[in-house]
Amino acid sequence: MGMDFEVIRPGKEISCDLMDGLVRIHELCFQDDATTVRERKILFEAWNNPPVMQHWAAKKGNDVIGYIRWVEHGGIRPKAVVELEQIGIDPKMQGQGIATQLIDFSLDRLEKQMQEEGRSIKLVYVMTGNNNYAQKLYLKTLGARLSAEIPGFYEDSEKNENEVVMIARKSELDNARKNRNDG
Protein backbone atom coordinates (compact mmCIF):
# COMPACT_ATOMS: atom_id res chain seq x y z
CA MET A 1 0.00 0.00 0.00
CA GLY A 2 1.54 3.29 -1.08
CA MET A 3 1.54 6.34 1.12
CA ASP A 4 -0.67 9.20 -0.01
CA PHE A 5 1.14 11.56 2.31
CA GLU A 6 4.69 12.83 2.71
CA VAL A 7 6.94 11.90 5.63
CA ILE A 8 9.56 14.44 6.60
CA ARG A 9 12.26 14.58 9.21
CA PRO A 10 12.68 18.23 10.10
CA GLY A 11 16.15 19.50 10.80
CA LYS A 12 17.20 22.36 12.98
CA GLU A 13 15.23 24.84 10.88
CA ILE A 14 11.73 23.72 11.81
CA SER A 15 9.14 26.19 10.56
CA CYS A 16 6.51 27.82 12.75
CA ASP A 17 3.78 26.34 10.53
CA LEU A 18 5.17 22.83 10.98
CA MET A 19 5.52 23.33 14.74
CA ASP A 20 1.95 24.63 14.94
CA GLY A 21 0.77 21.54 13.05
CA LEU A 22 2.69 19.20 15.35
CA VAL A 23 1.30 20.91 18.44
CA ARG A 24 -2.23 20.69 16.98
CA ILE A 25 -1.88 16.92 16.46
CA HIS A 26 -0.42 16.54 19.96
CA GLU A 27 -3.34 18.44 21.50
CA LEU A 28 -5.93 16.42 19.53
CA CYS A 29 -4.38 13.05 20.38
CA PHE A 30 -3.17 13.61 23.93
CA GLN A 31 -5.81 15.76 25.54
CA ASP A 32 -4.55 15.01 29.05
CA ASP A 33 -1.31 16.81 28.16
CA ALA A 34 -1.43 20.59 28.43
CA THR A 35 0.50 22.37 25.68
CA THR A 36 1.70 25.61 27.20
CA VAL A 37 4.38 27.85 25.75
CA ARG A 38 6.89 25.93 27.87
CA GLU A 39 5.76 22.56 26.43
CA ARG A 40 5.93 23.98 22.90
CA LYS A 41 9.56 24.99 23.58
CA ILE A 42 10.35 21.51 24.92
CA LEU A 43 8.68 19.92 21.89
CA PHE A 44 10.66 22.18 19.56
CA GLU A 45 13.96 21.37 21.30
CA ALA A 46 13.15 17.66 21.19
CA TRP A 47 12.92 17.82 17.40
CA ASN A 48 16.54 18.86 17.31
CA ASN A 49 18.05 16.13 19.50
CA PRO A 50 19.22 13.26 17.28
CA PRO A 51 20.42 10.55 17.57
CA VAL A 52 18.95 9.95 21.03
CA MET A 53 15.54 11.29 20.01
CA GLN A 54 14.28 11.19 16.44
CA HIS A 55 11.06 12.51 14.97
CA TRP A 56 9.19 12.26 11.72
CA ALA A 57 6.11 14.18 10.66
CA ALA A 58 3.42 13.08 8.20
CA LYS A 59 2.06 15.84 5.96
CA LYS A 60 -0.73 15.79 3.44
CA GLY A 61 -0.45 18.91 1.33
CA ASN A 62 0.32 21.70 3.79
CA ASP A 63 -1.32 19.96 6.74
CA VAL A 64 0.48 17.97 9.40
CA ILE A 65 -1.57 14.80 9.87
CA GLY A 66 0.66 12.97 12.33
CA TYR A 67 4.04 12.50 13.92
CA ILE A 68 6.16 9.86 15.59
CA ARG A 69 8.95 10.08 18.17
CA TRP A 70 11.59 7.39 18.74
CA VAL A 71 13.95 7.52 21.74
CA GLU A 72 17.11 5.47 22.18
CA HIS A 73 17.75 4.42 25.77
CA GLY A 74 20.87 3.37 27.65
CA GLY A 75 23.37 5.36 25.64
CA ILE A 76 24.64 4.77 22.12
CA ARG A 77 25.23 1.01 22.09
CA PRO A 78 25.99 -1.53 19.35
CA LYS A 79 22.64 -3.23 20.11
CA ALA A 80 20.16 -0.43 20.76
CA VAL A 81 17.06 -0.38 22.95
CA VAL A 82 14.58 1.92 21.25
CA GLU A 83 11.26 3.24 22.53
CA LEU A 84 8.40 4.27 20.31
CA GLU A 85 7.80 7.13 22.71
CA GLN A 86 4.84 8.76 21.03
CA ILE A 87 2.77 8.61 17.88
CA GLY A 88 -0.17 10.85 17.11
CA ILE A 89 -2.44 10.86 14.07
CA ASP A 90 -5.10 13.50 13.41
CA PRO A 91 -8.34 11.89 14.66
CA LYS A 92 -10.02 12.73 11.32
CA MET A 93 -7.32 10.68 9.56
CA GLN A 94 -7.23 7.67 11.89
CA GLY A 95 -8.17 4.24 10.58
CA GLN A 96 -6.51 4.83 7.19
CA GLY A 97 -3.23 3.01 7.88
CA ILE A 98 -1.24 6.18 8.44
CA ALA A 99 0.11 5.07 11.83
CA THR A 100 1.26 1.73 10.40
CA GLN A 101 2.95 3.43 7.45
CA LEU A 102 4.56 6.06 9.68
CA ILE A 103 5.91 3.39 12.05
CA ASP A 104 7.25 1.31 9.14
CA PHE A 105 8.79 4.27 7.32
CA SER A 106 10.49 5.82 10.34
CA LEU A 107 11.67 2.51 11.80
CA ASP A 108 13.19 1.55 8.44
CA ARG A 109 15.08 4.86 8.35
CA LEU A 110 16.18 4.48 11.96
CA GLU A 111 17.49 0.96 11.28
CA LYS A 112 19.33 2.08 8.14
CA GLN A 113 20.98 4.91 10.05
CA MET A 114 22.08 2.49 12.77
CA GLN A 115 23.43 0.03 10.17
CA GLU A 116 25.54 2.82 8.68
CA GLU A 117 26.94 3.35 12.19
CA GLY A 118 27.64 -0.39 12.62
CA ARG A 119 24.77 -0.76 15.08
CA SER A 120 21.39 -2.50 15.18
CA ILE A 121 18.16 -2.55 17.13
CA LYS A 122 18.06 -5.14 19.90
CA LEU A 123 14.48 -4.43 20.94
CA VAL A 124 11.69 -1.90 20.72
CA TYR A 125 9.39 -1.09 23.58
CA VAL A 126 6.34 1.06 23.88
CA MET A 127 4.21 2.17 26.80
CA THR A 128 0.52 2.83 26.31
CA GLY A 129 -2.76 2.81 28.18
CA ASN A 130 -4.41 -0.52 28.81
CA ASN A 131 -7.71 0.67 27.30
CA ASN A 132 -6.90 1.75 23.77
CA TYR A 133 -6.50 0.56 20.20
CA ALA A 134 -2.75 1.24 20.26
CA GLN A 135 -1.96 -2.21 21.70
CA LYS A 136 -3.37 -3.87 18.56
CA LEU A 137 -1.41 -1.45 16.38
CA TYR A 138 1.86 -2.24 18.18
CA LEU A 139 1.25 -5.99 18.01
CA LYS A 140 0.53 -5.77 14.26
CA THR A 141 3.30 -3.36 13.26
CA LEU A 142 6.06 -4.27 15.69
CA GLY A 143 5.16 -7.73 16.96
CA ALA A 144 5.24 -6.16 20.44
CA ARG A 145 3.72 -8.20 23.24
CA LEU A 146 2.49 -7.21 26.68
CA SER A 147 5.33 -7.43 29.15
CA ALA A 148 4.06 -5.53 32.20
CA GLU A 149 1.11 -3.54 33.48
CA ILE A 150 1.64 -0.59 35.80
CA PRO A 151 -1.42 0.30 37.88
CA GLY A 152 -2.10 3.99 38.53
CA PHE A 153 0.80 5.15 36.36
CA TYR A 154 -0.95 8.43 35.66
CA GLU A 155 -2.86 8.99 38.87
CA ASP A 156 -3.90 12.48 37.76
CA SER A 157 -5.53 11.15 34.59
CA GLU A 158 -9.31 11.35 34.40
CA LYS A 159 -9.31 8.03 32.53
CA ASN A 160 -7.85 6.22 35.56
CA GLU A 161 -6.29 3.58 33.34
CA ASN A 162 -3.20 1.49 33.84
CA GLU A 163 -0.13 1.79 31.65
CA VAL A 164 1.22 -1.28 29.85
CA VAL A 165 4.72 -1.99 28.60
CA MET A 166 4.96 -3.85 25.31
CA ILE A 167 8.23 -5.28 24.00
CA ALA A 168 9.33 -6.54 20.58
CA ARG A 169 12.73 -8.14 20.19
CA LYS A 170 14.48 -7.94 16.80
CA SER A 171 13.13 -11.34 15.67
CA GLU A 172 9.57 -10.27 16.54
CA LEU A 173 10.01 -7.02 14.61
CA ASP A 174 11.19 -8.95 11.57
CA ASN A 175 8.35 -11.50 11.84
CA ALA A 176 5.69 -8.77 12.12
CA ARG A 177 7.02 -7.09 8.98
CA LYS A 178 7.25 -10.38 7.10
CA ASN A 179 3.70 -11.37 8.08
CA ARG A 180 2.31 -8.02 6.90
CA ASN A 181 4.24 -8.18 3.63
CA ASP A 182 3.16 -11.79 2.98
CA GLY A 183 -0.50 -11.08 3.90
pLDDT of residue 76: 77
Is 64 in contact with 18 (CB distance < 8 Å)?
A: yes
Total residues found in the chain within this entry: 183
| Candidate ranges 30-34, 49-53, 75-79; pick with highest mean pLDDT | 75-79
pLDDT range class, residue 21, cuts 50, 70, 90: confident
40-67 pLDDT, tens digit per residue, is 666 656 665 656 778 888 999 989 999 9
98-147 pLDDT, tens digit per residue, is 999 999 999 999 999 889 989 999 999 999 988 888 999 999 999 999 99
Dihedral, 156, 142, 183, 1 alpha carbons, nearest 10: 80
Assess whether pLDDT exceeds 60 at residue 35.
no
pLDDT of residue 158: 63
Please state the rounded mean pLDDT for residues 22-45. 66
pLDDT of residue 108: 93
pLDDT range class, residue 183, cuts 50, 70, 90: low
H helical segments located in 30-182: 37-47, 98-116, 134-142, 170-182
pLDDT of residue 41: 61
pLDDT range class, residue 73, cuts 50, 70, 90: confident
Q: Between residues 19 and 129, which one has the greater pLDDT?
A: 129
pLDDT of residue 151: 86
pLDDT of residue 67: 92
DSSP letter at 78? Answer: S
With b for 16 or more beta-carbon neighbours within 10 A and e for fewer, the 20-42 pattern comes to ebbbebbeebeeeeebeeeeeee
DSSP letter at 157? Answer: -
Please state the rounded mean pLDDT for residues 16-22. 76
